[in-house]
Amino acid sequence: MSRQLNFNIKMKTQIYYIALLLLLTVFTACNVSKDIETPTDAVPLAYRNAITTDTTNIGSLEWKQFFTEESLVQLIDSAVVRNNDLQIAQKNIEAANWQLKQSKWNNVPELNLQVGASSSNPSDNSFNGQNLAALSGQKHIDDYNAAIGLSWEADIWGKIRSQKKEALARYLQTTEAKKALQTTIVATVSKGYYNLLMLDAQLAIAKKNLALNDSTLFVIKLQYDSGQVTSLGIQQAEAQRFVAAQLIPQLEREINIQETTLSLLAGTFPGAKKRAANINSIVLHEEAAAGIPSKLLSGRPDVKNAEHQLQAANARTGIAKAGMYPALNITASAGLNTFEISNWFTMPASLFGTIAGSLTQPLLQKRKLKSQYEIAKIEREKAVIGFRQTVLVAVGEVSDALVSTEKLKLQQSIVSSRVVTLQLAVKNANMLFKNGMANYLEVITAQGNLLQSELELASLKRARLNADVELYRALGGGWK
């Protein structure tokens, strides 16, 4: 009974000792490395040529609110769900999430169950063999052991907490990387769809001009038969017709290639793409709000990614710094131990318990650890520079998109007026030509100018739609 009491007292003393060490660790734990905050001066007050105090911007809209054309919404929806690059990004998030969960257990003691048995047969002529024979009359030693072992490293210098911070930053980086990828895919699909609508419009223009050229060529041939024009007139009219005819297979090829590109983005095999609209029916965001540059810090996934990169660099610097200081390790084990298996559960004689604590200070590794710390600080400084560069690029993209939307609108207005003028010119030229008041060169020239202007007008409408999308993407839209 007294042996049991003594054993209990010893175990309680050991438990109090462990608790005291834990309490001491909690009160002495500290960070040995000071973090660098995200630069607050990296963002200008306003975009170039834009002065506004309105903090709202179109980048806060979900892509289903920004894009309203049914066929385009279906394409984007398919791409967001089935795009293979996005699926890989999702797997990266899942892997990072497991690493984050694991990091939360870094400061939990390691607990192991150990069961073992051993038998040794010392030499009869050895010191152990002669003592064994003299004491017990046996020639071998059996040892049976069952114990629970515990080991724990105290987080005195914040190394484990820094590891958790790094894992969290890495996880957040993967989520922002997926958002950035989705933003790019939404913009790419929409631009590809608008390009498809432009090609449809240009194909219709080419076919219309081909029919117009056929009509002109027919009249010129009649005039040739009556001796009013020479064969040169027929040749020039045919050459003009070939210009419009050559555009048709070229545009059909480009339509096929664009449909294949959209299919691949949507994670499907190549095929025709449904479009219920034409390029002139797509409504532009005429008064799109860009807000203020500081909103990019929360709206642009790549900016958030750069911010998390800085947080991860801070954490790695803390880990490197903590590695230069002493590490406190506590180990303990308790269980049953006996020479004979029949006495295994004899209490308390078979009980045993040990506890140990140690401080480990690196000595000869000082130069190596110092180098690792200095490299970590340099990487952190690079992360700050990278953050500034990311913000710089983001502000530049928004500024470019703003000026593009403004200047393309003016261009479209000018070309639209030119198309109206040329349409009237072609109509008048045809009328005068049929009445013998204009020659075939005037008709051919007017038709050629109209063809090029109508093709340019369709291209400008596509460019305006793309600038609209680019402003939305530059402001961080499309990832929600």
Q: What is the CATH number of the domain that holds 426?
A: 1.20.1600.10
Shared domain check, 164 and 81: yes
Per-residue pLDDT of the chain (480 residues; tens, 9 = 90+): 444 445 455 555 555 445 445 444 444 445 567 888 888 777 787 777 665 556 678 888 888 889 989 999 999 999 988 888 888 988 888 888 888 888 877 777 888 888 888 777 777 767 666 676 666 666 677 777 888 888 877 777 888 888 888 888 898 889 999 999 999 999 999 999 999 999 999 999 899 888 877 777 777 777 677 777 777 777 877 887 888 889 899 999 999 999 999 999 888 889 888 888 889 888 888 776 777 777 777 788 999 999 999 999 999 998 888 888 888 888 888 887 777 766 767 777 778 778 887 778 888 788 888 899 999 999 999 999 999 999 999 999 998 988 998 899 999 999 999 999 988 988 888 788 777 777 767 777 788 888 889 999 999 999 999 999 999 998 888 776
Residue with tokens 């390029």: 279
Cα 127 to Cα 118: distance, rounded to the nearest angstrom: 20
Compute the distance between CA of residue 443 and CA of residue 421 in angstroms, rounded to an integer.
Answer: 14
Domain boundary among 313, 339, 360: 360
CB 237 within 8 A of CB 444: yes
Does 76 reside within a domain? yes
| Dihedral of the alpha carbons of 120, 126, 132, 133, in degrees to the nearest 10 | 120
Q: 81 and 21: one domain? A: no
Q: Are 229 and 277 in a shared domain?
A: yes
CATH of the domain at 332: 2.20.200.10
Residue 11 lies in a domain: yes
Let me know if residue 74 belongs to a domain.
Answer: yes
Q: Are residues 301 and 223 in the same domain?
A: yes
Sequence-distant (6+) residues with CB within 8 A of 22 are 154
| Statement to judge: residues 335 and 225 lie in one domain | no
User: Is residue 392 domain-shared with residue 320, that is, in the same domain?
Assistant: yes
Please tell me the distance from the alpha carbon of residue 238 to that of residue 89, in angstroms, as a whole number.
55
DSSP structural state of residue 159: H
What gap in Å lies between CA 333 and CA 114, rounded to an integer? 10
Burial status of residue 165 (CB atoms within 10 A of its CB: 0-12, 13-18, 19 or more): buried
477 CB-near residues (< 8 Å, 6+ apart): 58, 59, 60, 61, 63, 66, 183, 186, 299
- Owning domain of residue 150: 1-30+110-154+327-360
Domain count, the chain: 2
Same domain (yes/no): 134, 259: no
CA 189 to chain centre: 17
Other CB atoms closer than 10 Å to residue 228's CB: what's the count?
A: 13
Cβ contact 220:232 at 8 Å: no
332 assigned to some structural domain: yes
**Cis status, amide bond into 122, omega within 30 of 0:** no
Neighbours of 223 (CB within 10 A): 18
The SS3 of residue 356 is strand
Return d(Cα 214, Cα 217) in angstroms, integer. Answer: 5
* Position 480 in a domain: no
Considering only the C-alpha atoms of the chain, give the largest distance between any 2 of them, rounded to a whole number of Å.
141
**Would 15 be classed as within a structural domain?**
yes
Which of 313, 344, 360 terminates a domain? The answer is 360
Domain end (from 335, 360, 385): 360
Task: Classify residue 479: in a domain, yes or no.
Answer: no
Query: Looking at the structure, do residues 346 and 462 belong to the same domain, yes or no?
Result: no
Q: Is the peptide bond before 326 cis (omega within 30 degrees of 0)?
A: no
pLDDT at 23: 46
Asked if residue 268 is part of any domain, the answer here is: yes
d(CA 35, CA 319): 12
Same domain, 176 and 116: no
The H or E element containing residue 451 is helix 440-474
Please check whether residues 47 and 83 belong to one and the same domain.
yes
**Same domain, yes or no: 318 and 281:** yes
Looking at the fold, whether 116 and 56 belong to one and the same domain comes out as no
Q: Identify whether the C-beta of residue 472 lies closer than 8 Å to the C-beta of residue 478.
A: yes
Instruction: Specify the pLDDT at position 194.
Output: 95
Cβ atoms of residues 288 and 468 within 8 Å: yes
* Cα 176 to Cα 77, 104, 165, 250, 295, distances in angstroms: 19, 21, 16, 40, 16
Q: How far apart are CA 241 and CA 246, in angstroms?
A: 9
Q: What pLDDT sits at residue 24?
A: 47
pTM for the whole thing?
0.79
Which amino acid would we find at residue 357?
G
Residue with tokens 């020039």: 236
